[in-house]
């Protein structure tokens, strides 16, 4: 049944209540520049959060060791998402060498996601520069967004973002609900569990959550909680 605005807001409020006991979050690519601070912060947290990332990122890092062309695709991908520096050496240490035992990074695989959402994103969202010439051709942008949203829909895990690039990629295909200036206190409690707030002052963080509704072609909207 289609939800009205009040129903959507209530659904968001209910999910935010659950944030108090949530220790899982999906890391959007826009948040990767803050990984050095996140790595340092985990040594001082009482809980150990679980950070989810698409398995496509470590797959590209592994392939880049054999073929440097994949570093080009990684660099192009990240520059599409953020203007800030992303340390590929640190990504290797986290995802490939598993150097930071204190961190719990889990890979989002196709077995963990809503396949309908994945296929929708893979077929609808793409950039010619990021179509990798594999056999068959591989839509890098569609794959990553499909895994992020497919996992968010299936697991109800929120998405941690540093900008709204994800929103700009999907807004023509999936409805967006902006909750600017709502739930301020709860957002701060949520952020303090996953990011080093003192080290990221002046940085604007966003939370994305999927809310089921019939107004969307794939059964959900993306609600963006804006600090």
- Give 89-131 pLDDT, tens digit per residue: 889 988 888 776 667 889 999 999 999 999 999 999 998 888 8
Element (H, E) at 105: strand 104-108
CB neighbours (10 Å) of residue 188?
12
**Residue 102 confidence (pLDDT):** 65
**Residue 116 confidence (pLDDT):** 95
**Residue 105 confidence (pLDDT):** 87
Question: Which pair of structure tokens corresponds to residue 186?
Answer: 């709860």
Phi and psi, residue 208, nearest 5°: -115, 135
pLDDT (mean) for 202-217: 80
**Residue 135 confidence (pLDDT):** 58
Return the higher-pLDDT residue of 15 and 171: 171
Total domains present in the chain: 1
List, for residues 55-92, the tens digit of each pLDDT value: 999 999 998 888 888 888 899 999 999 999 998 888 99
Average pLDDT of the chain?
Answer: 82
CA distance 159 to 104: 16
**Residue 201 confidence (pLDDT):** 54
**Residue 52 confidence (pLDDT):** 94
Question: Which pair of structure tokens corresponds to residue 225?
Answer: 């909680």
**Residue 204 confidence (pLDDT):** 76
Question: Which pair of structure tokens corresponds to residue 227?
Answer: 């600090």
Alpha-carbon separation of residue 183 from 16, 27, 171, 222, 226 (angstroms)? 8, 21, 23, 16, 9
Q: Is the pLDDT of residue 5 over 60?
A: yes
CA distance 160 to 166: 11
List, for residues 140-157, the tens digit of each pLDDT value: 999 999 999 999 999 999
Domain that holds residue 142: 5-225
Question: Which pair of structure tokens corresponds to residue 190?
Answer: 């949520």
List, for residues 156-205, the tens digit of each pLDDT value: 999 999 899 999 999 999 989 877 655 555 556 665 655 654 555 556 78
CA distance 18 to 54: 24
Please report which confidence band the pLDDT of residue 1 belongs to, taking 50, 70 and 90 as the band edges: very low
pTM of the model: 0.87
């Amino acid at each position: 049944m289609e939800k009205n605005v009040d129903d959507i807001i209530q659904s968001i409020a209910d999910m935010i209540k659950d944030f108090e006991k949530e220790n899982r979050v999906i890391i959007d690519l826009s948040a990767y520049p803050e990984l050095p601070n996140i790595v340092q912060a985990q040594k001082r947290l009482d809980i150990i959060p679980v950070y989810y990332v698409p398995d496509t990122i470590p797959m590209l890092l592994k392939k880049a060791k054999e073929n440097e062309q994949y570093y080009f695709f990684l660099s192009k991908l990240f520059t599409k998402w953020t203007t800030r520096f992303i340390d590929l050496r640190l990504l290797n240490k986290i995802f490939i060498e598993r150097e930071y035992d204190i961190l719990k990074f889990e890979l989002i695989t196709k077995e963990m996601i809503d396949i309908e959402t994945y296929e929708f994103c893979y077929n609808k969202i793409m950039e010619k520069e990021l179509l990798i010439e594999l056999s068959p051709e591989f839509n890098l942008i569609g794959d990553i967004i499909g895994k992020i949203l497919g996992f968010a829909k299936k697991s109800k895990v929120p998405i941690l973002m540093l900008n709204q690039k994800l929103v700009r990629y999907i807004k023509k295909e999936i409805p967006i609900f902006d909750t600017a200036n709502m739930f301020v206190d709860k957002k701060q409690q949520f952020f303090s569990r996953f990011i080093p707030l003192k080290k990221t002052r002046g940085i604007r963080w966003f939370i994305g959550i999927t809310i089921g509704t019939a107004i969307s072609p794939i059964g959900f909207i993306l609600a963006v909680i804006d600090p």
